Structure 1
Amino acid sequence: MSEQPSQRTRKDIETHIIAQTWKDEAYKQQLLNNPKSVIEREFGVQLPSEVKVQILEENPTTLYFVLPVRPNSSGSELSNEQLEAVAGGTVVAPIVSQFVTGLIN
Structure 2
Amino acid sequence: MSNDARSEVTKIIVEKAKSDATFKANLLTDAKSTLKDSLNIVIPSNADITVLEETPTHLYLVLPIDFDDVELSEQDEKQISAGAIALGSASNTF
Q: TM-score range by the shorter chain?
A: 0.5 to 0.7
Structure 1 residues not aligned, in runs of 5+: 1-7, 74-92, 97-105
RMSD: 2.0
Greater RCO structure (CA 8 Å; 6+ sep) = 1
TM-score by length of 1: 0.58
Work out the CA distance in 1 between the residues paired with 2:9 and 2:52: 16
Contact 2:32 2:42 in 1 (8 A): no
AA matched with 1:72: D
Work out the CA distance in 1 between the residues paired with 2:65 and 2:48: 14
Structure 2 residues not aligned, in runs of 5+: 70-88
- What is the aligned-residue identity percentage? 29
Work out the CA distance in 1 between the residues paired with 2:15 and 2:41: 20
TM-score by length of 2: 0.64
Work out the CA distance in 2 between the residues paired with 1:50 and 1:15: 24
Q: Secondary structure at the residue paired with 1:72?
A: helix
- Alignment equivalent of 1:70, drawn from 63, 66, 69: 66
Q: Secondary structure at the residue paired with 1:63?
A: coil
**Do residues 58 (structure 1) and 45 (structure 2) align?**
no
* Structure 1 outlier segments of 4+, above 3 Å: none
Superposed displacement of residue 24, structure 1: 0.8
Q: Secondary structure at the residue paired with 2:33?
A: helix
- Alignment equivalent of 1:15, drawn from 11, 32, 52: 11
AA matched with 1:49: S
